[in-house]
A and B are shown apart, each in its own frame.
Chain A
């Protein structure tokens, strides 16, 4: 079975900072990776699909990159409304989510 390792599990950053989250797959999953944002008490929201494609309506400060086993999610300039938990999700076989990264404002 494919394992997904997402890191860090939490981070604290200042408004305007560049924030980076990584997701590592235990085997090659090509670009079969999505990223979601989940705010407290809310359903997750799709931000990035196929590793690097921005979902319609999502601000351009969010981006994704990577292929194979190593993937990166970036917020170029952290905004107060970006406080949330972010999840990666692979689908090489069946959908599997990473453990999540809680992003807080310093």
Chain B
């Protein structure tokens, strides 16, 4: 079955760029049936959608983060990635990657999630 796994540094300094990668196994990021999303959850708080990418490279971002977010896809590695620039302590959170869809039936249902990775912003 399809599995997602986040990877990347667990500690990022303020003002630097947070970079995470999600590796998809058991399925293909090139599937035209799904979007691929990033979602985060600050400690003890709720969920915040960051953005999604389609295999073609088209993206959609949360307006509140749009100026700092870049999501990209590497179909050759079956991965998609998140970059969040100019981070502050407020960006400390568990970051999840998730599959979204199928687009034709339920385009905004997050049906498969990675286990999540904690990223702390601190000097």
- Count, chain A residues at interface, CB 8 A: 22
Q: What CA separation (Å) do A49 and B106 show in the bound complex?
A: 7
Query: A96: which B residues are within 8 A, CB to CB?
Result: 49
Is A97 within 8 A of B46, CB to CB? yes
Is B49 within 8 A of A94, CB to CB? yes
Q: What CA separation (Å) do A106 and B76 show in the bound complex?
A: 51
Task: Write the B92-120 contact mask toward A (1 if CB under 8 angstroms, else 0).
Answer: 00001010000000111111011110000
Q: Nearest chain A CB to B98's CB is how many angstroms away?
A: 8
Q: What CA separation (Å) do A97 and B46 show in the bound complex?
A: 8
Is A73's beta carbon under 8 Å from chain B?
Answer: no
Q: What CA separation (Å) do A89 and B109 show in the bound complex?
A: 9
Q: What CA separation (Å) do A95 and B115 show in the bound complex?
A: 20
Query: CB < 8 Å: which of A34, A50, A91, A99 contacts B46?
Result: A99
Q: What CA separation (Å) do A36 and B47 show in the bound complex?
A: 11
Is A44 within 8 A of B111, CB to CB? no
Is A95 within 8 A of B108, CB to CB? yes
What is the predominant secondary structure among interface residues of chain A facing chain B? loop
Query: A32: which B residues are within 8 A, CB to CB?
Result: 108
Query: A94: which B residues are within 8 A, CB to CB?
Result: 49, 60, 62-63
Is B48's beta carbon under 8 Å from chain A?
Answer: yes
Chain B residue with Cβ nearest A92: B108
Is A97 within 8 A of B49, CB to CB? yes
Query: CB < 8 Å: which of B49, B62, B113 contacts A43?
Result: B113
Is B108 within 8 A of A91, CB to CB? yes
Is A64's beta carbon under 8 Å from chain B?
Answer: no
Is A43 within 8 A of B108, CB to CB? no
Query: A42: which B residues are within 8 A, CB to CB?
Result: 115
Query: CB < 8 Å: which of A49, A97, A100 contacts B109?
Result: A49
Question: What is the interface of chain A, defined by CB distance below 8 A to chain B?
Answer: 32, 34, 36, 42-46, 49-50, 53, 55, 87, 89, 91, 94-100
The 6 A-B residue pairs whose C-beta atoms are closest, nearest first, are A91-B108, A43-B113, A95-B49, A97-B47, A49-B109, A49-B106
22 A-B contacts, Cβ less than 8 Å apart? A32-B108, A34-B106, A43-B113, A43-B115, A43-B116, A46-B109, A46-B110, A50-B106, A50-B109, A55-B111, A87-B46, A87-B47, A89-B108, A89-B110, A91-B108, A95-B49, A95-B108, A95-B110, A96-B49, A97-B48, A97-B49, A100-B46
